[in-house]
Structure 1
Amino acid sequence: MSDDVTTQSGEGSLETVDERVHTFWEVASAHARLNGVPAYFGPNVLDSVPPPAWSFGTGAEEADNLLALVLAGTKTATASAQWDYAADNEPLPEPGALSIILAGTGQPRALIETTDVEIVPFDQVTEEHARLEGEGDLSLDYWREVHEKFFREVATHAHGFVADMPVVCERFRVLYSE
C-alpha cells in the first residue's frame, strides 16, 4: 500500500495504512516468536520491513467475510491464477513466506505463513483444497463456480478463462491475529 493511504484513527489523528502495518508487524512478529524465521530487512540491517500486506477478495465486504473465515480457522487455503503473477511481474508464493492480512478498512488483522504451494490446472483442483478454502458449502462445485467467475472478472492477464488454466493453490497457517 502506498503512504498516501490514510484512515481516521480512534483518537482523531490521521494514520497511514503503512504505519498500522508496521505497528502490527512489530507486535505480531514478537508474539509469533519469529526469531528463527528469515528476516525481512529494510534499508539497513537494523530496520525490519513488514511482509506484504493485502486483503482477500475484491472489496471491503468480501475482505471482511474472508478474513472472518481465516480468524475462525475455517479458511486455511487460497487460490489465484498463475498467469496473474506473470502479468503483474510478481513472484509466486513460496512455503515459509509471510503475509499480513488486512480487514476491509485496511486494518492489519492476521499474520499468516504459507505452508504449501501447488500449481494445478483449474479443472484438477481437489475437493480437499475447496474445503480448505472454507467458503460457501465447502464443495468443489461451489469452489469452481465462484472461482471461475472471480478469474473471469479480475484477471490481470490476457489469456481469459480456460478450464485447464494454471491455478496457484496455496495453504497457510495463522501465526498471530488480533
Structure 2
Amino acid sequence: MNQEIIEAFWRAYLATLPADAPAQNAAFVAESFGDHPDLADELAALVLAGVKTATCSALWEWEAEGASLPQAGLHTIVLDAQGAPLCIIETTAVFICSYDQVDAPFAWEEGEGDRSLAHWREAHARFFTRTLRAIGRTFTPDMPLVCERFRLVYRPVSAGDPHIR
C-alpha cells in the first residue's frame, strides 16, 4: 500500500465535492475486502459494479485488535489485491447481529455468488473458520458480526463514466 497514492486518491475525491461537504474534514481508512488476493479483487469488482453494498466482519476480530467499530459516515478507500485504490465507499449503517440472524436481504446486499442466504452462510462459514484462527477463536453460528451497509461515492473517471456522488 503506497500511502502517497492513497492520499492523492482521497484528495481527488475531495476535489469533486463542495468545500463545505462533511467529507472535507472526515477521516478515512484504506483497506481491501477478504483475506486473500483473489477474494480482494473479486469483492472490489462487485463494489465497482454496484452489486456489493454491504459487508460484515467478526466482532471478535475488532475486539482482539482493540479497534473502534465503524460508524455511519466512515469513508473507506477500497484497495485491490496489490494495494492500489479503486474507489471510495461511505458506510451508511452499522449493526451487530449473530451469524445465524443474518437475513436474506443482507445476504443479497453482500452481492456474492448467487446472492442467496444459503450461499452467504456457506461462504461466510468457510471465511470465518479460516480467519478466526488468527485470534484463537472458532466459528460458531451464534458468533457476533459487525454488519455494514455502504454506498459507492467515488471512482475515478474512466471510459467516460462520471464520478459517483
TM-score scaled to structure 1, two decimals? Answer: 0.82
Give the Cα separation in 2 of the matches to 1:168 and 1:32.
29
| Equivalences for residues 1-178 of structure 1 within 5 A | 17-33=2-18, 35-37=20-22, 39-40=25-26, 51-155=28-132, 156-178=134-156
- Residues 106-164 of structure 1, C-alpha deviations (whole Å, 9 max, x = no match): 11111111000110011000100000000000000100111111111012433311111
- Structure showing greater Rg: 1
Secondary structure of the corresponding residue to residue 129 of structure 1: helix
Give the Cα separation in 1 of the matches to 2:95 and 2:19.
25
Give the Cα separation in 2 of the matches to 1:171 and 1:65.
18
Unaligned ranges ≥5, structure 1: 6-16, 41-49
Give the Cα separation in 2 of the matches to 1:19 and 1:56.
21
Q: CA deviation at 1:32?
A: 4.3
Contact 1:111 1:175 in 2 (8 A): yes
Contact 1:32 1:175 in 2 (8 A): no
Give the Cα separation in 2 of the matches to 1:32 and 1:99.
16
Q: How many residues align?
A: 154
What is the identity percentage for the equivalent residue pairs of Structure 1 and Structure 2? 43
Give the Cα separation in 1 of the matches to 2:6 and 2:127.
27
Contact 1:32 1:176 in 2 (8 A): no
Change beyond 3 A, Cα 1:135–1:107:
same
Q: Which residue pairs with 1:45 in the alignment?
A: none
Amino acid aligned to 1:36: A
